[in-house]
A and B are shown apart, each in its own frame.
With several copies, the nearest count.
Chain A
Amino acid sequence: MGNDITILIGGKAGQGIQTIGAILAGICHDAGLFVFSTDDFQSRIRGGHSFHLLRVGSRPLSAPSIRPDILVAIDENTYDIHREKLMSSGIAILNKNGGNDGDSKGNIYRVPLQDLAAEAGGKIASNTVAAGVVAAVMGAGLDRVRAVIESRFEAKGEKVQTLNLAAVEKGYGQGRDICFQSPFSFDGEKSPDHVVMAGAKAAALGALAADCRFFPFYPMSPGTGIVTEVAANLGKLPVVMEQAEDEIAAVNMAIGASYAGIRSLVATSGGGFSLMVEGLGLSGITETPMVIINAQRPGPATGLATRTAQADLLFSIHASQDEFPRFVFAPGSVLDTFKTVKRAVMLSEKYQVPAIVLMDQYLTDSARTETNDFVVGDEHHSYIQDTEMYQGETYHRYKITEDGVSPRCLPCTPHALVRVAGNEHTPDGLPSEEPLNRVAMVDKRFVKLPAMTRELRLPSVFCNNSSFFLTGWGSSKGCIMEACLHLREEGIDAGWIIFEDLWPLDAQGLKDMLTGKRLIMVEGNATSQLGTLIRTLTGIEYLAAILKYDGRPIYPEYIVERVKDIQAN
């Protein structure tokens, strides 16, 4: 089984609790342990309550846990908010300077973080003290702890570095006295095959690896995280970012740039995506490639700005007036995100259709140990047909071809005139109202569908003969997998079916795959959108649905509990 614990660090926005998590994750990663972290925070900059969950395991992890073994309370509210979730074998570390008076007793340890930091040379380092405490509790050697602090604060200058080293040691000294039942072995070594990354960064790197060069954006949580990760590479790459005046501008800029030959991606959330819908259709009718990442959050309208949801699936499939082929993906892990965004860019180019990648706050913001398969593939390969450019003015952007894909040239290159219209158009790109031409053009666009469908993968199935299947999509993949394994350990014959490619799907293939299977949908929405999609494509009805729409991730524990409820009924 291996060791597996969860640390919950809570405090106010602005108190830097994520830093504590990041230091601890670094120490664990260096020792070859596996981590999984996720953030829960409010739509505010200071105050309130947020928490960071860090799970550490000696084996790979694919989900967070909501039941902490170590509860670190930086402010006074945290303990009260989370005490009920604390494992009975767990301990709580309360910041004595955070309003938690009194002495340590039972499994509660009170540590004066600011006082210790002040002793070390500056109150500002109190988070580092906290990290030191927990590192010691977990059983990390001081050398490892120091090494992480040294490299983390290297860029900030010697003074800061020295302060934090002193602070971490202060904390470490306190932590050593705390008795914890499940310490880890930190004797292992960092594996070159592993990397700790969050979904937002994976999406950005995937886009860059696929030669996306233009990222117009309008800030919107949680989509902003993705562009922020692109921005971190500005200056190193031939990449342009531009803050648009609104999302409508962003999507139209992307189409304009793509027309002129640059792969473009916009990242947003549901509200921004709503504003991009008309542009999505423009990409559809002009057959101009473009990728939209919709990092979902609860809605409708402003909804819950910093929370998570999986409720835009059917909207993504049907968004825009009238019909045209598009791709819809929803990656299930951080590595999947990297690969999926690369594929989305490439497939959008190959078929000259828009592609939508559904992420969400949970996926963008949660970091985890992943196999380091983040490599440049050949998705950057160009699909633009330069040879056609020499046809001069007889070049037709929308030439009718057998596979529906017309030769795409760039404007203002030596010979071809490239004409593109969001009106229905003849093959030369000029508007036309002719009924037969209209039919020909709709058919031309739709004839791409079979090949597009073949590019997509049917869902992954685990334990094909199980008595029922936890069935979900996208970011909850890991939670479903963990829940499933947990149920199996308890002797419950569960399997899973997980979708990451969502549109267009091979309906017959899916029907063959699902026929006779009992499905329990697990989704982050209130109506079971994937369940609806399955019924639409195959006529197959699911058995039950575990739906969570409170804006929080679908923790494995929740799934397990609800499966048992369902079985009890």
Chain B
Amino acid sequence: MTTSIFDTDRENQWCPGCGNFAILAAMKQAFEDQNLKPRDILLVGGIGQAGKTPHYLACNMLHGLHGRALPMATGAKLANHHLNVVVSSGDGDCYGEGGNHFLAAIRRNLDITLLVHNNQVYGLTKGQSSPTTDLAMGTKLTPGGPTSTPLNPLALALTAGAGFVARGFSGAGEQLAGLIQEAMNFRGFAMIDIFQPCVSFNKINTHLWYKERVKDLGDTGHDPTDLPQALAVAMTEPGTQIPTGVLYRKPGVPFQDRFTVLKDKALTDYPFAGDQINDILSGI
């Protein structure tokens, strides 16, 4: 492994062979390719194996509650919209416990990059089904498989109005690094759902399983500005083929631009408005 200014000396706690290592490497590469420094980035982590990613990157870090990475990122971004925010979340964290925030962040067009490490299982809590678990996959707690039809995150994001929707695969590192960089450069909500094999708990959607199915959209003539086409791609039956790459890209008004007061500068950059407050107080 090459060294990086984003390396930390913390022992990595993921299982050997976990797809997260490749995602971590792709993140480092994407950061370096943009000439970013550790202090330039704020990583927000959910809770789960995916959510641990920020522990292994020398950056600013905000690591809170299960399912609540996006609201935290929203607050940080409103406080200082110059922050370059990348969120690492899991399929359980983001689409399960945090499902409501996922929809809300899209509707806000929150100007961040969301990486969902989608291993189609709850990894850290030992293999329960997640919102993206295959109906055929039994677990200790749902021996007959999940009782809920899997959620299609990309289709959902598209109908909810997301501006940048992509899919990555941990096994395609170069492509992923490129996608991350593109997402970070997109002004507005940019999400990448990243298929990530969980070697410990997901025996169905293995590295090989994905490998056999992924198909780079770049090779198909897909037009990422066409919403119905993007939706059709997102709704491809996942068992047969998995299109990766940018499904959709359409800039809109990013969240910060929806606040007049943030037009000039970040909220953190304003001095204390003592005089104005005095005016208000003397007018009461």
Contact = CB atoms under 8 A, between A and B. Distances in A.
Interface of A: 14, 42-48, 195, 197, 201, 205, 208-209, 211, 213-214, 216-221, 224, 227-228, 231, 233-246, 248-250, 252-262, 264, 271, 278-279, 282, 286, 301-302, 305, 372, 374-376, 380, 393, 410-423, 429-431
Contacts of B72: 252-253, 255-256, 259
Nearest to B49: A45
Contacts of B148: 243
Q: Which of A205, A253, A261, A416 has the most CB of B within 10 A?
A: A253
B39 A416 contact: yes
Interface stretch (B24-32, B207-215, B264-272): B264-272
B188 interface: no
Contacts of B10: 430
B75 A255 contact: yes
B200 interface: yes
Nearest to B56: A430
Contacts of A253: 71-72, 74-75, 78
Nearest to B54: A419
Interface string B263-284: 0000110101110111111001
A518 B59 CA distance: 52
- Give chain B's interface residue range (CB within 8 Å of chain A): 35 or more
A219 B39 contact: no
Given A209-B277, A411-B83, A218 B55 contact: no
B106 to A, nearest CB: 11
Contacts of B262: 240
A302 B103 CA distance: 24
Given A208-B277, A213-B270, A279-B68, 13 more contacts: A47-B15, A238-B270, A238-B273, A239-B261, A245-B97, A245-B131, A249-B68, A249-B74, A252-B65, A253-B74, A420-B64, A422-B63, A430-B8
Q: Which of A211, A220, A227, A411 has the most CB of B within 10 A?
A: A411
A231 B141 contact: yes
Contact of A257 (B76, B100, B143, B147): B76
A77 to B, nearest CB: 12
Interface string B32-72: 00000011111010010100100100111111111110111
Interface stretch (B121-129, B224-232, B246-254): B121-129
Q: Which of A195, A259, A375 has the most CB of B within 10 A?
A: A259
Q: Which 9 A-B pairs have the closest CB atoms?
A: A256-B75, A253-B75, A252-B71, A260-B79, A238-B270, A257-B75, A256-B72, A411-B60, A46-B15
Nearest to A218: B97
B278 to A, nearest CB: 6
Given A253-B75, A411-B83, A422-B64, A46 B124 contact: no
A412 B40 contact: yes
A210 to B, nearest CB: 10
B241 interface: no
Contacts of A278: 65
B60 A374 contact: no
Contacts of B79: 213-214, 256-262, 264
Interface of B: 8, 10-11, 13-16, 38-42, 44, 47, 49, 52, 55, 58-68, 70-80, 82-84, 96-97, 99-101, 103-104, 122-126, 128-129, 131, 140-143, 146-148, 200-201, 259-262, 267-268, 270, 272-274, 276-281, 284
Contact of B75 (A238, A264, A393): A264
Contact of B124 (A43, A201, A256): A43
A558 B107 CA distance: 51
Nearest to A301: B65
Given A243-B128, A412-B84, A249 B101 contact: yes
Contacts of A258: 75, 79
Contacts of A218: 97
A202 to B, nearest CB: 9
B140 A231 contact: yes
Nearest to A426: B10
A464 to B, nearest CB: 35
Contacts of B261: 234-235, 238-240
15 contacts: A46-B16, A47-B16, A214-B75, A219-B141, A238-B270, A240-B262, A243-B147, A250-B71, A254-B75, A256-B71, A412-B42, A413-B39, A420-B61, A430-B8, A430-B10
B261 to A, nearest CB: 6
Contacts of A423: 63
A395 B82 CA distance: 22
B275 to A, nearest CB: 9
B71 A244 contact: yes
Contact of B78 (A214, A271, A412): A214
A238 B267 contact: yes
Contact of B267 (A213, A219, A286, A376): A213
